Amino acid sequence: MVSKRKEFSRSRFYRISAWLHLWLGLVTGIVVILVCLTGCIWVFQEEITSTFLDPETNVAYQQKPVIQPSQIMTIVDKEFPGKRVGSAEYHQGRTINVNLGGQRSETPALKIHPYTGEVIRKTDPKAAEGDFFEWILEGHRFLWLPYKIGRPIVNYSTLIFVFTLITGLVLWWPHKWTKSMRQRSFAIKWTGSAKRVNYDLHNVLGFYSLLVVAAIAMTGMVYGLDWFGKGVYWITSGGTPFPGYGTFNSDTLQTLRPYTPAQAVDLVWQQAAKKHPDSKGFYISFPDSTDHKAVIIITVYPSAGVIYDNQGYIHDQFTLKELPKDKIYGQKFSEDTFGNQLRRMTYDIHIGSVLGLPGKMLAFFASLIGGSLPITGFIIWWGKQKKSKHKSRKLKVNQTNSL
């Protein structure tokens, strides 16, 4: 009777929050655990790859020119006759990653020394099965299921997880701000019983990580849920609809072909390098010469370790005329609108790189805690179920004895 009176002394809002927190957490728990744990691993994929898994792809910076895109085309033609270059990524201190046109795998077909053109690694596109981190990313994005099935499960489970965080805050909020209640809400009692420690790990760590975990979850939904991403942009841009990324085409009526494809990509790359001499990397999308609408896309990365301040250029593959800028990534970051800046920072916020190494560490531990919450929460629920059954049995025994 005492526990019943205590339960109903809480407001209806609290009881509804508790019910939602329990059942939403139970429904999405396994998905949240997998998404959070794979996210933990992905956060440091660059550091782990360069240090342990792929150290031969580290290349010390040298004060000398790197090989040009046309040279990459020549190397690909030699290594994969009849294939074309799809894209190439230059990153200071690393090999050039080269993907073939039409290749769906994210595993680069070639890793090339940026100064000598030596092929450091060659991957057969037909035999490529992807590396460890590609496998981790597939689990993080769609649980290793078919994309159209796994992707919605991950996205809407993440949305539900955000609701459990909000209801969790309602349950965490101290009923009275006494000294003992404050200590219970803000500190883990490591000397307590295993049950108490588990409760504190769920309650206290959940509170401390709430804002970071919520930011990671919502930035993930920006990419995963189209309506959510557009809604966030609309709010942060003062009611401006999301402009999209646009479609750009070369002039198919252009009869004059003053440049060969190799000359065209070299000239575009040189123009970008001249505009951004201190950049730490470039991404080049090579046009398909059989598709006259195809364009040359080049993205410049001014800073190492982040992508939010990148700037993109799009050129006609025949005339090299610069086409209208992308409305999101075509402007200089510092001169862009707040809505665009926040959209551009989404990925860096998601993995914590927006704050450098400390930010990545914060994202790692927050994701780890996020993945632990369904586990500690389930243990709390299971313990209450066992306690309830034990009380029911005891009550039946007492009733029988009284008869």
Over residues 192-210, the pLDDT tens digits come to 999 999 999 999 999 999 9
**67-81, 116-130, 169-183, 268-282: least confidently modelled range:** 116-130
- d(CA 150, CA 145) in angstroms, rounded, equals 5
pLDDT score recorded for residue 1: 45
> CA dihedral defined by 232, 236, 238, 243, rounded to 10 degrees?
-60
**15-24, 128-137, 267-276: least confidently modelled range:** 128-137
Q: Which helix (H) or strand (E) holds 87?
A: strand 85-91
User: In terms of C-beta density within 10 A (0-12 exposed, 13-18 middle, 19 or more buried), how is residue 108 classed?
Assistant: buried
Question: What is the pLDDT averaged over residues 82-87?
Answer: 92
pLDDT score recorded for residue 325: 83
Tell which wins on pLDDT, 397 or 153.
153
pLDDT 10s digits, 298-307: 999 999 999 9
Question: What is the pLDDT averaged over residues 91-97?
Answer: 95
pLDDT score recorded for residue 2: 44
pLDDT 10s digits, 320-379: 999 988 888 888 999 999 999 999 999 999 999 999 999 999 999 999 999 999 999 999
pTM: 0.90
Residue 402 above 80 pLDDT? no
Check residue 292 and report its DSSP letter.
T
Asked if 284 and 87 count as a contact pair (C-beta separation under 8 A), the reply is yes
How much is the mean pLDDT over the chain? 90
Which residues touch 133 (CB under 8 Å, ≥6 apart)? 41, 42, 45, 48, 49
- d(CA 80, CA 74) in angstroms, rounded, equals 10
Residue with tokens 């100064």: 115
- d(CA 137, CA 139) in angstroms, rounded, equals 5
**And the tokens for 21?**
């927190």
pLDDT score recorded for residue 101: 85
Asked if 181 and 175 count as a contact pair (C-beta separation under 8 A), the reply is yes
**And the tokens for 159?**
């949305």
pLDDT score recorded for residue 399: 57
pLDDT 10s digits, 131-190: 889 899 999 999 999 999 999 999 999 999 999 999 999 999 998 889 889 899 999 999
Residue 130 above 80 pLDDT? no
Relative to beta strand 96-100, strand 110-112 is antiparallel
pLDDT score recorded for residue 289: 82
